Each structure stands twice: as structure tokens, then as C-alpha cells.
Amino acid sequence: MTREGMRIAIVGMGPRGVGALEALARRLPEGAMADVDVFDPQEPVGAGPNFSPAQSPHCLLNLPVREVRIDPPPGQGRSLGTFAEWLGAARADPERYPPRGELGRYLAARYQALTEGSCPALRVSHSALKVTGVVPAEGGWMIRAGEELHGPYSAVLLTPGLPSVAPDAQMERWRDHAQSHGLDLLPVYPDHALLAAARRWQGRTVAIRGLGLSTHDALRLLTAGLGGRFEAGRYLRSGHEPARILPFSLDGRPPAPKPASAEIDARFDPRDEESIAFEEALAEAVSATPDRALQMVCDALVAPVARIIREAGSSADSGAIRDWLAVERESPAAQADDTPLALLRSEIAMARGEAVPSIGYVTGQIWRKWQNRLRRGFNPVMPGPETAKALVGFDEGIKRFSYGPPVSASEELVALIEAGLVDLRTVDDPDIELTAEGWHLVGGDDSTTASVMVDSVLPSPDPSRLAGPLFTQLMTEGRLSVVSDGLGLRTSDAAELIGADGKVQRGLALLGPLALGSVIAVDSVHDCFGAAADRWADGVVKKLSRMAA
């Protein structure tokens, strides 16, 4: 095999790009060489915007240190160790939920190790130019960046994270309205822009669209970020906060917090035989009809859910569990009858181990622990479009339990409600009227007007809303196709894109949320360093071997 090797381009070098590059480094055979050109304007390279070290320390990871289970880097980069080892004893408290920027610095260090020769088989170069096109060429693909074409590349990998998308219909109306009336309408991220604007919002009413993990970041920025303090379960105002904060969502239900400690979390561990039963059910489900597929994976949940509830000291009726799961797969979040505040307090008690966990809470924790098994059983198979949609829908719905925040974030939300700063009267899918003063929220018999709107709803991976020249070009040329309405782009087992004609775009691959439906459970840093990146790297190495033969 010659030392010339092959040329590869990776467009986007956040966590998923680092995971792919490391997967390639681990697989290159002795004597092989690969030149990798990285295109990413984000600094530092490797962190990506979601984990930027410049983020406020109020933007927290939704995993404790003990749950950031990423193997050490390959080659000489192994000296960096795991995330906990890299943090050092002073910051490696296993129960701490670190700022996202800390993980970003770690990922940037892993990328830097690769560029400094920790894996001699890789020669990595970086360009801060923005890629605007990918075009076929003899021997592979050319990349358009700046005013020039770069390449040709035998393999191109796109890892865009959450790329630019056109606003949804509601947000488009709101942007026009805000511009016409001089109103503040901002996304949660970039956080520094939100925090700078929030310093002008003292005494005003601020609405937040969304009630997920990003809302907790927004709340911390609008409170602790403005000098307030959480002490002994109470919120102490600084005087710089808005007068009221009005979060709202389609179902009005805050996500359930994760178990408060490793000891409590272990109570939700599935047994080996239960996990094997799930894997067997999933292996059949991916080839079944949508309804049958959901029935099979839900049936595998019944036994562990019943066992864990019994071990918590309560009766566990298998019929009630089956009924709950049946409603859940038809109408996620439709079964919570408590008010949002009562639900918050109840689930905090479950997370603290002070109350018997509900069917939903137990189901979510088991599902979280089965995420890697879910990926292994779903991703290589490429289920039929409707079956994929059904399984993805169940996974997305159960995220309100499985992807929850730290219990401290839920307790802070309760403190803000009790302090009268956060108001939930219009939290459940309010009617919203646009007025010259702002956004008039109407929920039941309550109504109020917010003069500021914060958008904490992250864009969905909807290819029909993709903006920017790169994906627009690929879609126009028929090099992209969707799995199903509401899902992402079709890719092969090796992550190569599948065009509108059903043909694999050899050498042009995609990893990440935009491939939702071809892959599942993509909203995790663990997925960035998982089997999807491995399969892409395997495909590249096979191609390199053919070139050398």
C-alpha cells in the first residue's frame, strides 16, 4: 500500500466529526495513509457550536460526569484519558453536571491531538472556509469553498450538526411582527447574545417558546446570569430580572429530571435477560409493520418496568403497564393529569428516590439505558419508512423522561415558580395573538402579554426546510431523498447519501440529526462516537484497500 493513500474531506468538525476522524484513525491498516481536509469556520475546531467553550457556564450538559462515557482517543492521544480523567480531581465529581463548554474544550483537545500527529497515518489540515457546494468529479468529489474548488476527494463526509433551516410558519410570522414593531425576539443560542439582550429586560414580561432542556438554559441565563442566586431551595432576586417569565409548549409538560445519583440510577438498570429480550424483539420489529413493531418493543418493556416498580415497594399491574404503553405510542404525554407544578414536584421526588416512580418514569429510564442497543438494532438495518417513523416517534416521545435535565434544574424551576418569577398559567399550548405590544398569550381563563419572546425550540431535521447553498444544491440535483415525511435524509449502512433515484451517492456520506429515520437516537454525544461513525470509517477503509490493490 503506497504512502500516498487517499484524500478525504470532512465538512463540519464538531463532536461528530471528531468521532468519525478517530474512528478512521483506529481502522487505518499499517502502512496506509489518509490526507483529511477539514472544513469548519467554528473555533476552536472540534467543539462545535453546541459545546463552544465560549458558552456561558449556565448552559449545562444534560449528563453528569459519570455518564459521559467516551473511550479515550486513539494513538498517542490516549494520554488525554476519559472526560473525567481530563477534568482532573477538582472538577471530576461524578454527580456534577458540567457546563457544555467544558466538554467542548475536551473535544477540541482530542481534535488537536489528531492534528499534532497522535495518529501518524492521518495527515489533517483545516480550512475555516464555509463549504457552499459538493460536485462530482473524476475520482470522487470536489468541494466548493470560498472562490475555489478543492479536491478531488475519494470520500466526503458531511457532519453539519443542526444546519441552518428556514423558520417554521409561526416563527416566520413572529419575525415579521417583531421587526415591524421593534420587539425583541431571540433564540436561546448563542447564549451571549441572549444574555446581552436580557440586561435590557428588567421589569418586562418575557415569554419562552418551548419547555425542554434549552428552556432550562434560558431560565438560568435570565436569572443567575443576571445576578440572582439559588439558595436553600429558594430564589433570591438580583433586581435585574424580567418581571415575569412565561414558558409554554404544545403539551405544557416539563421534562422529568434524571435520577439524582448513581445509586438511585442503578435502581432502574435492566437485567441482562431483559436487555437480551429487548434486542431480540427489536431485531424482529425493524422488519415488521409499524403497529407490530411498536407492540413488540413495548412488550419487551413490560417485565422490567413491573419488576422495578415492585422493587420500589409498590404493586405493578402488567395490564396497567401495557395500557400506559398503548396510549404512549399513540399520544405521547397525553396521560399526565396533574398540573405542571404538581408533576414537577412528583417527578423530583421520584428522581430523589423519595417516591415510588411512575410507569412513565421507569419506562424512560430503562429506555435511556437501552439507547446503544436501540442504535445497534435499528441503524444498520434501514427499516421500512413507516416502521422507521413509528420507532423514531416512540423514541422522540419518551425523551421527556429519558433525556431529562439534572434534578437541580427542575428544583430551580420550582423555586422560580414559588418566587413568582416564572408563571405557568399559560404554559399549555396557549392561543397567541400578535399585538403592537408583543405577544398576547391566552390559556383558558388566563391571559397576559409578553413584550419579549425567546425561542428555545431547536430546529427539527426537516429536509424540506433546509437553508444554505450546500444542501439546497444537493437537493436540487437529486442527490438527497427523505426517509418519510417528518423524518430526515436517507443514508446507507455506511452513511452514504441515497439520491432521489434510489442510487447511493458513492463516497458522499452524512452523519448526524439530518439522517434521523435512517438512524435513531442521534441527540447524544455518545452517538457521535458510536457505531454509525465506525460503519462510515469501515467503508472508507474498504475503499482505500481497493485503491491499493
Q: What is the pLDDT of residues 238-260, one digit of tens each?
A: 999 999 999 999 999 999 999 99
Co-location of 32 and 156 in the same domain: yes
Mean pLDDT, residues 411-419: 98
pLDDT digits (tens, 9 = 90+) for 23-81: 999 999 888 889 999 999 999 999 999 999 999 999 999 999 999 999 999 988 899 99
Co-location of 431 and 354 in the same domain: no
Co-location of 142 and 19 in the same domain: yes
| Whole-angstrom distance, CA of residue 309 vs CA of residue 508 | 47
Mean pLDDT, residues 397-409: 95
The percentage of the chain sitting over the pLDDT mark of 70, rounded to a whole number, equals 99
Grid cell at residue 390: 413509528
Q: Evaluate whether 408 touches 227 at the Cβ level (below 8 Å).
A: no
**Banded model confidence at residue 382, pLDDT cuts 50, 70, 90:** confident
Co-location of 492 and 429 in the same domain: no
In a domain, 86, yes or no: no
pLDDT digits (tens, 9 = 90+) for 105-149: 999 999 999 999 889 899 999 999 999 999 999 989 999 998 899
Q: Evaluate whether 218 touches 195 at the Cβ level (below 8 Å).
A: no
The reported pLDDT for the residue numbered 76 is 87
pLDDT digits (tens, 9 = 90+) for 347-375: 999 999 999 999 999 999 999 999 999 99
Co-location of 433 and 479 in the same domain: no
In a domain, 154, yes or no: yes
**CATH code of 187's domain:** 3.50.50
**Banded model confidence at residue 549, pLDDT cuts 50, 70, 90:** low
C-alpha 70, offset from chain centre: 16
H-helix segments, 331-427: 340-351, 359-369, 371-378, 385-397, 399-402, 407-418
Mean pLDDT, residues 387-416: 96
pLDDT digits (tens, 9 = 90+) for 84-94: 999 998 899 99
In a domain, 71, yes or no: no
| Phi, psi for 454 (deg, rounded to 5) | -110, 130
Whose grid coordinates read 472540534? Answer: 46
Q: Evaluate whether 173 touches 25 at the Cβ level (below 8 Å).
A: no
The reported pLDDT for the residue numbered 463 is 84
Q: Cis link prior to 190 (omega < 30° from 0)?
A: yes
The reported pLDDT for the residue numbered 1 is 34
The reported pLDDT for the residue numbered 346 is 96
| Whole-angstrom distance, CA of residue 330 vs CA of residue 523 | 22
H-helix segments, 28-74: none
In a domain, 173, yes or no: yes
| Whole-angstrom distance, CA of residue 96 vs CA of residue 78 | 24
The reported pLDDT for the residue numbered 333 is 80
Co-location of 238 and 312 in the same domain: no
| Whole-angstrom distance, CA of residue 188 vs CA of residue 171 | 14
Give the number of other Cβ atoms within 10 Å of residue 273's Cβ.
Answer: 10
In a domain, 123, yes or no: yes
In a domain, 82, yes or no: no
**Banded model confidence at residue 186, pLDDT cuts 50, 70, 90:** very high
| Whole-angstrom distance, CA of residue 122 vs CA of residue 311 | 51
Global pTM? 0.94
The SS3 assignment for 439 reads strand
Last residue of a domain, one of 417, 433, 455: 455
Grid cell at residue 97: 453536571
Task: Compute the CA torsion angle 462, 467, 471, 477 (nearest 10 deg).
Answer: 100
DSSP codes joined into one string, 398-421? THHHHT---HHHHHHHHHHHHTTS
Co-location of 284 and 373 in the same domain: yes
**CATH code of 41's domain:** 3.50.50.60
**Banded model confidence at residue 202, pLDDT cuts 50, 70, 90:** very high
Co-location of 286 and 345 in the same domain: yes
Residue 4 has pLDDT above 70, yes or no: no
Co-location of 187 and 159 in the same domain: no
**Banded model confidence at residue 2, pLDDT cuts 50, 70, 90:** very low
In a domain, 528, yes or no: yes
Provide the b/e sequence for 390-400 (b: ≥16 CB within 10 Å).
bbbbbbbbbbb
DSSP state of 249: B
Contacts of 71 (CB under 8 A, 6+ apart): 82, 529
| Whole-angstrom distance, CA of residue 419 vs CA of residue 241 | 12
The reported pLDDT for the residue numbered 3 is 45
Inter-CA distances, 543 with 4, 399, 532, Å: 14, 37, 17
Looking at this protein, which amino acid is placed at residue 199? Answer: R
In a domain, 118, yes or no: yes
Whose grid coordinates read 425542554? Answer: 212
Co-location of 424 and 395 in the same domain: no
User: Could you give the number of structural domains in the chain?
Assistant: 3
Mean pLDDT over the full length of the chain? 94
Co-location of 15 and 158 in the same domain: yes
| Domain membership of residue 182 as a residue range | 169-251+409-455
Residue 337 has pLDDT above 80, yes or no: no
The reported pLDDT for the residue numbered 540 is 94
Nearest to 401 by CA among 454, 351, 469, 455: 351
Helix axis angle for 213-222 and 191-198, nearest 10°, is 40
Nearest to 21 by CA among 537, 546, 454, 538: 537
Last residue of a domain, one of 402, 418, 434: 402
Largest CA distance in the chain: 75
Co-location of 145 and 209 in the same domain: no
